[in-house]
């Protein structure tokens, strides 16, 4: 078998030098955003992280090899190739052994980032408990993965397509830390406020770095920390709720389930909102990349 992990030159150099790194997932590129903006957003995200003094490590599987950090032609492959599946942790070994290619979800990315020693991760919105999960049992592996990894994840809350209240309860049960960045309200992805409180508020990257250090001191670092960073310019709530209701009905009618649900609903939002959700999603990711880089630098 080929060596399982390949580091990009930039990431390998940063690890050797002890420079701050930020992990990025690839499912958002291949399954979360439409072409061609998926590639430009991915490139922009990496640039934002560099501009804030850290090194981006986008994670994906290409032809049976786990990549931590992608060269530009590899990023292009993830954005444009048609044979890129969506891999969670359980899929990794299978895809490696079969020599296939896949984008990694939050769960799979965090798992690989932790192996590579990367402690900070930026994404859009986390996966969580789906609506109707009491019947479908559809809960993202993002939650269980984060309950077992030393990772700080910067996100705009969980995706608003989910059952947010149930997800918050699961985060508590799984002992996953949660702080609001400059807010006491849990963000709702496309919305700045999901309607639920966050107990703990932080106002600076330094404060978050202190929390990360304290986690190690008290041995709670293997239950990840979520930094919830609300989007600045949200979608009108009535419009959001209307598009979501139509999307959920369409998903049920079309028999969409399992790992196809999230990409289906995100795509529905992008089409039904005529691109508004796409531009909000892009802003979310960019802002999370900037904050994640600031935290990585503060931690150094």
Active site residues: 25, 159
Among 46, 91, 142, 163, binds ligand PSU (CB under 6 A): 142
Neighbours of 53 (CB within 10 A): 14
Check residue 31 for interaction with ligand PSU (CB under 6 A). Answer: yes
Check residue 60 for interaction with ligand PSU (CB under 6 A). Answer: no
Smallest distance, ligand PSU to C-beta of residue 281, A: 5
**Site map (CB under 6 A) of ligand PSU, residues 90-129, x = contact:** ---------------xxx---------------xxx-x--
Q: For the segment 183-202, give every residue that binds ligand PSU (CB under 6 A).
A: none
Q: How many residues are recorded in the chain?
A: 300
Smallest distance, ligand PSU to C-beta of residue 284, A: 6
251 Cβ contact list (under 8 Å, min separation 6): 261, 264, 265, 268
CA distance 255 to 187: 29
Task: Using the minimum distance from each CB to Mn ion, give the nearer residue, 138 or 163.
Answer: 138
- Say if CB 268 and CB 247 are below 8 A apart: yes
124 binds, among Mn ion, ligand PSU, none (CB under 5 to 8 A by kind): ligand PSU
CA distance 201 to 228: 9
What are residue 2's phi and psi, to 5 degrees?
A: -65, 160
154 binds, among ligand PSU, Mn ion, none (CB under 5 to 8 A by kind): none
8 binds, among ligand PSU, Mn ion, none (CB under 5 to 8 A by kind): none
Check residue 74 for interaction with Mn ion (CB under 5 A). Answer: no
DSSP letter for each residue of 93-156: HHHHHTT--EEE-HHHHHHHHHHTT--EEE-SSB--BBTTHHHH--B-HHHHHHTTS--EEEES
224 binds, among ligand PSU, Mn ion, none (CB under 5 to 8 A by kind): none
Q: Which stretch binds Mn ion (CB under 5 A): 17-25, 32-40, 116-124, 133-141?
A: 133-141
Q: For the segment 152-191, give every residue that binds Mn ion (CB under 5 A).
A: none
Check residue 170 for interaction with ligand PSU (CB under 6 A). Answer: no
Check residue 163 for interaction with ligand PSU (CB under 6 A). Answer: no
DSSP letter for each residue of 10-56: HHHHHHHHT--EEEE-SHIIIIIS-TTHHHHHHHHHHHHHHHTT-EE
Task: Using the minimum distance from each CB to ligand PSU, give the nearer residue, 211 or 260.
Answer: 260
- Say if CB 177 and CB 210 are below 8 A apart: no
Q: With CA atoms as reference, report the closest residue to 232 among 298, 266, 279, 267.
A: 279
CA distances from 93 to 6, 27, 65, 86, 198 (A): 15, 17, 10, 13, 37
Task: Using the minimum distance from each CB to ligand PSU, give the nearer residue, 28 or 164.
Answer: 28
Check residue 138 for interaction with Mn ion (CB under 5 A). Answer: yes
Residue ranges that bind Mn ion, judged by CB under 5 A: 138
Residue ranges that bind ligand PSU, judged by CB under 6 A: 25, 27-28, 31-32, 105-107, 123-125, 127, 140-142, 259, 262, 266, 281
């Amino acid at each position: 078998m080929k060596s399982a992990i390949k580091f990009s030159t930039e990431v390998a150099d940063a690890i050797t030098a002890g420079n701050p790194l930020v992990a990025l997932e690839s499912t958002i590129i291949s399954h979360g955003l439409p072409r061609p903006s998926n590639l430009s957003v991915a490139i922009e995200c990496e640039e934002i992280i560099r501009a804030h003094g850290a090194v981006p490590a986008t994670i994906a599987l290409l032809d049976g090899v786990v990549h931590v950090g992608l060269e530009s032609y590899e990023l292009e492959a993830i954005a444009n190739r048609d044979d890129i599946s969506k891999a969670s942790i359980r899929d990794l070994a299978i895809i490696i052994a079969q020599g296939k290619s896949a984008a990694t979800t939050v769960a799979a990315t965090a798992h690989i980032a932790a192996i590579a020693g990367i402690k900070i991760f930026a994404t859009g919105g986390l996966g969580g408990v789906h609506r109707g999960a009491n019947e479908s049992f559809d809960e993202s592996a993002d939650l269980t993965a984060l309950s077992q990894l030393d990772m700080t994840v910067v996100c705009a809350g969980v995706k608003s397509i989910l059952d947010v209240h149930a997800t918050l309860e699961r985060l508590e049960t799984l002992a996953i830390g949660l702080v609001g960045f400059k807010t006491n309200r849990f963000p709702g992805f496309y919305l700045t406020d999901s309607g639920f409180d966050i107990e703990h508020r932080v106002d600076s990257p330094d404060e978050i770095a202190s929390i990360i250090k304290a986690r190690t001191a008290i041995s709670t670092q293997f239950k990840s920390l979520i930094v919830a960073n609300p989007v600045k310019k949200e979608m009108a709530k009535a419009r959001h709720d209307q598009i979501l209701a139509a999307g959920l009905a369409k998903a049920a009618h079309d028999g969409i389930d399992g790992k196809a649900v999230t990409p289906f609903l995100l795509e529905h939002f992008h089409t039904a909102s005529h691109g508004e959700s796409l531009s909000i999603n892009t802003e979310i990711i960019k802002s999370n990349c900037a904050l994640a880089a600031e935290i990585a630098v503060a931690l150094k």
